[in-house]
Amino acid sequence: MIRLVDATRSYRVGPTVVEALRGISLTVAAGERVAVMGTSGSGKTTLVHLLALLDRPTSGSYLLDGRDVAALSDDELSVLRNREIGMVFQGFNLIPQRTCLENVALPLIYRGATRAQAHTAAHAALRRVGMAERATSRSGSLSGGQQQRVAIARAIVGAPPVLVADEPTGALDRRTGLEILDLLLGLNEEGTTLVVVTHDPEIGARCGRIVELHDGRLAAGSAH
């Protein structure tokens, strides 16, 4: 499903080149669940942005289902991301002035679905995360846990095979965070490949496989 081969990512900050990732080789099988862990500045968010097709490696390759994403145009990459990757952010990234239904329907609208088709699928996704009764509420009026549920519904509305979550419980209290984790793990048990960035060892343990990053490099044993 996911394969990085000797992938690097560097940034220029003024005269300085910052090497965020250094020669990452990583394989994630279809249906697997993986926790990405590491200290602040270790490169884990950069890695997740590569996996979610929000960024490209500076060198090396990224194969998604055998397809090298480096060869794709920006438009092709956007289409692939919309269809293959669901992304859940720590800060939810919902549009507060829009309703939950409108937020969840957006990925399908971008895909070219009719408004009716998108809203039917969005209602189903909201039911799946226990938020159907708030479909017409503006997302900005919800609690943090409710907003994260809506964000997960938006991520899964197009039935992507891969779900990437960047610190999905980091902005939530512990009880709500565990509820969100249970929801994500339940999606994985239904067949969705799950990659979660976290600082929490308990979340890492529940994911089963832990990929550790240190100074932009994978710890021994993390690649497979």
Tell me the domains of the chain and their CATH numbers: 33-56+81-218 (3.40.50.300)
What DSSP assignment string belongs to 123-190? Answer: HHHHHHTT-GGGTTSBGGGS-HHHHHHHHHHHHHTT--SEEEEESTTTTS-HHHHHHHHHHHHHHHHT
> What is the pTM (predicted TM-score) of this model?
0.91
**Residue listed under structure tokens 């610190």:** 167
Distance of CA 22 to the CA centre of its chain: 21
Q: Render pLDDT for 124-183 as a digit per residue (tens, 0 to 9).
A: 999 999 999 999 999 999 999 999 999 999 999 999 999 999 999 888 888 888 898 999
Q: Render pLDDT for 40-99 as a digit per residue (tens, 0 to 9).
A: 889 998 999 999 999 999 999 999 998 899 888 999 999 999 999 999 998 999 999 999
Q: Over the Cα atoms of the chain, what is R_g?
A: 17
Distance of CA 94 to the CA centre of its chain: 14
